[in-house]
Structure 1
Amino acid sequence: MTGVNFILGILSLLFLHAKCQLPPTVYQYYTEGGINSGLEALPGQFRLNGKDITLYSGSIHYFRVVPEYWRDRLRRMRAAGLNAIDTYVPWNLHEPRKGEFDFGAGNNEFSKVLNLREFLQIAQEEDLLVILRPGPYICSEWEFGGLPSWLLRYPDIKVRTSDLVFTGHVKTYFDQLLAQVVDLQFTKGGSIIAVQIENEYGSFGNFDEIKDREYLAFIRDNYVENGIEELLLTCDSPALVGDTGSLPGYLMTANFDNNPEAQFDRLLELQPDKPLMAMEFWAGWFDYWFGTHTGGLNPENFSKHLSTIFSYNASVNFYMFHGGSTFGFMNGANKIPVFPSYLSDVSSYDYGAPLSEAGDYTEKYNVTKELIALDNEVQTFTPEQPPLNPKIAYPAVQIQEYLTYVQLINQIPLDLVTEIQTVTNMEALDINNGNGQSYGLTVYRKKLDLAPTAELQIVGHIRDVAMVLVDGEQKTQKPQGSGALLGFGFWTISNSTFTIEGAAAGLNTLDVVVENWGRVNFGGPAYFEQQKGLFEGPILVDGVELSDLTAIPLELKSNWIQGLTGWQAFEADRNLTGPVMLRATFELAEPLQDTFLDMSAWGRGSVFVNGFHVGRFFHVGPQITNYIPAPLFKQGLNEIVIFEHYLAAELLVFSDVPILRG
């Protein structure tokens, strides 16, 4: 043996010796000797494959993180001491049109983030077990709670019940979905240790009434028929709803952000023979437009409540551990019993979570890591914390080109433009192969002779925000703050009126442009009547009802935006009034880095990065920046397109830090 080979041999032996001294991974520890059983809910304790386990889990949604960062975020979670993650599954992305399914191989807006199977496999590679939450309703501050909008084409459908129309579609979807993951169950060598039945069903409707347990049994039976063998569970806030949303004999878990004692004591009353788990320990909270960024629990209360959870010998799932971003038009909304009654969620899902929207470590991350280390009696190998991904404020970029509103409308495919007798909700429009319009804006157009001063009235409510244009010219004003909610153009006012001034003599084109700001994701049955657009009552001009309208869907799909033609040169120092599409291209070299687009100088609209819709912006906040993860950029020429409703800015300004106004 030469000297070099001898040294290499010694180093190899030392490496092997060191490797043998490392504690086992989670999977090594819980699969040693073969897999004989899955997760069991025994009195006071979970057991996995015959060994006691406390679940330290965190929520992460694969559809809110670009896939290039799935492994990065999961490794950061494992480095905090977590041994599991949970994820929801959004029906509306996986079946965007009735009978058309997309699990990552489609040509849809968000196909790139839909490979659930790959995500679950990466989780296992990163030594994390998985709790799967397929819904079909997921809440999650997600559009319509994850339900596809085409369900609303059935006028009498009762979602989240044993209504045969609804359950028929759920079965069709679940048959497709569960086939993607059935072989990834823990007992088959995969990552899934538990599957949730529906979601917070006890909070659906009146808290004190027993819910439709036939529907829950249907979900359970469908799981079983599709080969799901792992532990099944439900989640709710038991101190508030008791067992009204559960199925007898199945594990109940608790959702809360404070007073763990009340939730766990109630669970112990309801199921004394089962272990305790906080299925959603709300680590932070979400934001809505016109509101302020709070981040939910502060680190001190977060630490206090987590310590209490562990004092009950309970397992925990942090909701969220990493929120990510709500891309595109997929934000949800909440109904509340006071003004303004409807709160539309922002695109950032930072959530005040232990890992920020951009994956940065926060004080809550450090608290989590410290307390798990103190509580966990099973020593397994924990990786080092990955370094932070660098952020950069790229140099400002000048807007170079634009398309007017008229140019945009003229490029809508004719097969999407429909004639309607009177106002019609977007879902009912006879387009997209019978699926209607799901997201974006709908233009209600009428050609007529307007008086120099005309009174427009929209009978009923607007769903949700409207602009008025005459001959392509914006007539409504940029909202300056929450005071705008007291005037025309928002959902808050019934039978609202608007004075149109300055119409040219002769035949005019009147457009009422209505934006879906997100269907409600939480509440009782009435909250799930979520049609969007204009449909409650007609449009009146000077007291005369308008009929024989044209409906034009402005869906702003990425493929359409990337195919737009006729761009005009943008002139600096010009006040370019929206609605308008603006475009800037710029060169980037390696290494590409995360950044934030500062939209404080803009009004309201959407941002597209190399064709990918990263989300909405609105100058009133609290979200001021849009996070752009580095993988959305490419070496060489890049493109950012902005759809602006009111008044365009001249520059794209980048930041290396997020701006969320408190």
Structure 2
Amino acid sequence: MSFTVIFFRAFLQLASELHLWVILRPGPFIGSDLDLGGLPSWLLRDPEMKLRSTYPGFLAAVNTYFDKLIPKMLPFQFKKGGPIIAVQVENRYGSYAEDGNYMMYIKEALVDRGITEALLTADEHNGLKHGGVKGALMTFNLQKIKADEISYLEMIQPSSPVLVTELWTGRGDGWGGLHHTFPVEDLVAVVRELLRRGLSINLYMFSGGTNFGFMGGASDTPTYKSLVTSYDYDAPLSEGGDYTPKFHLFRDLLSNFNNEILPDMPPLHRKEEYEAVFLYQHLSLWDALPFTHEPFRSQLPVNMENLPVNNGNGQGYGYTLYETTISTGGSLKSEGHVKDRALVFVNRTFIGSFYDRNVELAVPDEKIAHVGIVGDILLNHTPLRDFTIYSLDMSPAFIDGLYQAQWKTVQNTPSFPSFFQGRLFVNGYPSDTFMKLPNWSKGVVFVNGQNIGRYWDTGPQQALYLPGPVLNSGINQVTVFEEAEADLKIQFEDSPDLGMTVDI
């Protein structure tokens, strides 16, 4: 928390120096594009937990969070000479709206801690009627203009400004889908019309970003898909900080609208196409287990959040391996208790993967391991018992600890899942680059111990953004955890590859 607050304060200080205004959105729910909406996974250790509600356990966590964060934000309010001109109460609660008292509690919690700037809420069209709270300006999010949304806000807030808190410049991408783009002509037309009507707007996103590590969330529109590592979002500034045609046209529009000449654009940093890295060092998952947390033994399967690791806070991210002994083959059923993609092994041999479908096992008297369990798994209608559970959180400490392991040179076809290791040499000052893993299957990439993110051959994303500041001049350690198939080579390119596109 202390590191995050220091970083946040530095961001606010920089905004002030650049004469930028800030709308502070402290949550506690940030958005579905982040894992669990940005809420900490240890909340789920309480079996009665009701997120985003006045449930006492949730409010206790919210109060602790606000007690740490809000006092650090107070000096940056506009009335005290800072850049914060407004504070948003929660985020898009109208589409959730499970507790009629919750929004008022969050609003009062902010005010009681010294927030004095304008308060606002933000919702989509279907959440406007249930997401507001007395004393806060209702605003809305959109991508294409719907006249009834504007009319509704003008009707219920006749003396208030109309603000589009999120004008979506694109959309997040889900694994197994396509890369979404919002045509630049359509975006400019929407912005021009909103400005003509006298509305205020914020672009979401103005600058693309990256879901480093395991921070990516999910979208359920139109169907459930977990989000890819890139959060480029087809924004005016790309994930790598490059100008796009959308940026140039939007800049021209604002220049003409305000009848002023804008300052020159800052020069861009060059991206680098580094030499390919060959990953000849290999460490099987099974050989990496001694470097995990102490294994936990339980009669019943235990979900990752309730594992006795991380000082009693459970496991928040990564993988979990469950191991037990069976005495017969047969039909393995998840009964809806696998809430993630599960890999099944018998005697360390891959049998299959599943969400809710069955997997036939035909090898008796061996061991089975599987991933992502929140309840009983049935073998021939009998629940499996007596588990040894390994927490594979893929933390920096765990990845660093693997350097002490007995890595082997890859011989013929390596076993999977496995870790692979190689070195990238950077000559001179490091530059941004994009990592491509053709003929790899699914896994996670670490560079100098930092989790760069997930990759998956199901697409659409084909290259991972690697910022220059992660790299060192000279030798850089590259580690890949791969679930099923490896080409042993990583390519580096000077441009992104977000996959096949579809217009929104």
Pairwise TM-score range, normalised by the shorter structure:
over 0.9
Q: Residue 249 of structure 1 is aligned with which of 112, 135, 145?
A: 135
1:171 is the counterpart of 2:63:
yes
Q: Residue 300 of structure 1 is aligned with which of 176, 185, 197?
A: 185
Contact 2:104 2:134 in 1 (8 A): no
Structure 2 spans left out of the alignment, 5+ residues:
none
Q: Residue 224 of structure 1 is aligned with which of 99, 111, 132?
A: 111
Q: Which residue number in structure 1 is paired with residue 51 of structure 2?
A: 159
Q: Residue 358 of structure 2 is aligned with which of 497, 505, 530?
A: 497
3-state SS of the aligned residue for 2:130? Answer: coil
3-state SS of the aligned residue for 1:563? Answer: helix
Deviations 1:578-607 (A, max 9, x none): 210011113212121111000222100001
Q: How does 1:219-618 map to 2 (within 5 A)?
A: 219-237=106-124, 239-295=125-181, 297-335=182-220, 341-376=223-258, 382-414=262-294, 417-450=295-328, 454-476=330-352, 488-490=353-355, 493=356, 496-501=357-362, 503=363, 508-512=366-370, 514=371, 533-536=372-375, 538-564=376-402, 565-571=404-410, 574-618=412-456
Structure 2 CA distance for aligned equivalents of residues 363 and 262 of structure 1: 31
Contact 2:344 2:350 in 1 (8 A): yes
- Cα deviation, residue 151, structure 1: 0.8
- Cα deviation, residue 568, structure 1: 2.4
Which amino acid in structure 2 is aligned with residue 234 of structure 1? Answer: T
Structure 1 CA distance for aligned equivalents of residues 93 and 258 of structure 2: 31
3-state SS of the aligned residue for 1:242? Answer: helix
Q: Residue 41 of structure 2 is aligned with which of 149, 163, 173?
A: 149
The normalised TM-score by structure 2 is 0.94
Contact 1:260 1:309 in 2 (8 A): no
Deviations 1:80-104 (A, max 9, x none): xxxxxxxxxxxxxxxxxxxxx3434
3-state SS of the aligned residue for 2:3? Answer: coil
- Cα deviation, residue 193, structure 1: 1.0
Structure 1 CA distance for aligned equivalents of residues 327 and 126 of structure 2: 57
Which amino acid in structure 2 is aligned with residue 422 of structure 1? Answer: L
Contact 1:213 1:247 in 2 (8 A): no
Q: How does 1:628-643 map to 2 (within 5 A)?
A: 628-643=466-481
User: 1:218 and 1:542, CA in 2 relative to 1: closer, same or farther beyond 3 A?
Assistant: closer
Structure 2 CA distance for aligned equivalents of residues 247 and 543 of structure 1: 50
Deviations 1:44-72 (A, max 9, x none): xxxxxxxxxxxxxxxxxxxxxxxxxxxxx
Structure 1 CA distance for aligned equivalents of residues 35 and 112 of structure 2: 29
Structure 2 CA distance for aligned equivalents of residues 508 and 620 of structure 1: 31
Structure 1 CA distance for aligned equivalents of residues 135 and 7 of structure 2: 33
Contact 1:405 1:581 in 2 (8 A): yes
Contact 1:258 1:305 in 2 (8 A): yes
Which amino acid in structure 2 is aligned with residue 226 of structure 1? Answer: R
- Cα deviation, residue 170, structure 1: 0.3
Structure 1 spans left out of the alignment, 5+ residues:
1-100, 106-113, 206-210, 477-487, 515-532
Structure 2 CA distance for aligned equivalents of residues 287 and 257 of structure 1: 16
Q: Residue 214 of structure 1 is aligned with which of 97, 101, 121?
A: 101
Q: How does 1:174-189 map to 2 (within 5 A)?
A: 174-189=66-81
Structure 2 CA distance for aligned equivalents of residues 360 and 567 of structure 1: 42
Structure 2 CA distance for aligned equivalents of residues 139 and 567 of structure 1: 42
- Cα deviation, residue 317, structure 1: 0.4
Which amino acid in structure 2 is aligned with residue 616 of structure 1? Answer: R
Deviations 1:12-45 (A, max 9, x none): xxxxxxxxxxxxxxxxxxxxxxxxxxxxxxxxxx
- Cα deviation, residue 129, structure 1: 1.3
Contact 1:333 1:345 in 2 (8 A): yes
Contact 1:197 1:216 in 2 (8 A): yes
Contact 1:608 1:614 in 2 (8 A): yes
Instruction: Please give the root-mean-square deviation of Cα atoms over the aligned residues, in Å.
Output: 1.9
- Cα deviation, residue 563, structure 1: 1.3
Structure 2 CA distance for aligned equivalents of residues 233 and 443 of structure 1: 44
- Cα deviation, residue 376, structure 1: 2.9
Structure 1 CA distance for aligned equivalents of residues 188 and 96 of structure 2: 30
Structure 2 CA distance for aligned equivalents of residues 556 and 230 of structure 1: 41
Count of aligned positions: 499
Structure 2 CA distance for aligned equivalents of residues 293 and 577 of structure 1: 32
Which amino acid in structure 1 is aligned with residue 410 of structure 2? Answer: E
User: 1:546 and 1:450, CA in 2 relative to 1: closer, same or farther beyond 3 A?
Assistant: same
Structure 2 CA distance for aligned equivalents of residues 191 and 249 of structure 1: 21
Structure 2 CA distance for aligned equivalents of residues 327 and 269 of structure 1: 42
Which amino acid in structure 1 is aligned with residue 373 of structure 2? Answer: L
1:138 is the counterpart of 2:30:
yes
- Cα deviation, residue 511, structure 1: 0.9
Structure 1 CA distance for aligned equivalents of residues 405 and 103 of structure 2: 53
Q: Which residue number in structure 2 is paired with residue 111 of structure 1?
A: none
- Cα deviation, residue 260, structure 1: 4.5
3-state SS of the aligned residue for 2:476? Answer: strand
Deviations 1:266-306 (A, max 9, x none): 211110100111100001111000101122x2111101111
Which amino acid in structure 2 is aligned with residue 194 of structure 1? Answer: A
- Cα deviation, residue 562, structure 1: 1.0
Q: Which has the larger radius of gyration?
A: 1
Structure 2 CA distance for aligned equivalents of residues 215 and 545 of structure 1: 39
Deviations 1:340-377 (A, max 9, x none): x5211101000011111101111111122112222237
User: 1:137 and 1:442, CA in 2 relative to 1: closer, same or farther beyond 3 A?
Assistant: same
Contact 1:401 1:567 in 2 (8 A): no
Structure 1 CA distance for aligned equivalents of residues 369 and 128 of structure 2: 50
Q: Which residue number in structure 2 is paired with residue 124 of structure 1?
A: 16
Structure 1 CA distance for aligned equivalents of residues 467 and 489 of structure 2: 20
Contact 1:243 1:270 in 2 (8 A): no
Deviations 1:239-284 (A, max 9, x none): 4333321112321111000025332222111101001111000011
Which amino acid in structure 2 is aligned with residue 557 of structure 1? Answer: S
Deviations 1:116-138 (A, max 9, x none): 11111112222211111011111
Structure 2 CA distance for aligned equivalents of residues 393 and 195 of structure 1: 42
Task: Compare 241-250 and 386-395 and name the one that shifted more.
Answer: 241-250
Contact 1:392 1:655 in 2 (8 A): yes
Contact 1:405 1:472 in 2 (8 A): no
Structure 2 CA distance for aligned equivalents of residues 327 and 299 of structure 1: 27
Structure 2 CA distance for aligned equivalents of residues 587 and 543 of structure 1: 54
3-state SS of the aligned residue for 1:179? Answer: helix
Contact 1:399 1:570 in 2 (8 A): no
Structure 2 CA distance for aligned equivalents of residues 133 and 256 of structure 1: 18
- Cα deviation, residue 410, structure 1: 2.4
User: 1:467 and 1:346, CA in 2 relative to 1: closer, same or farther beyond 3 A?
Assistant: same
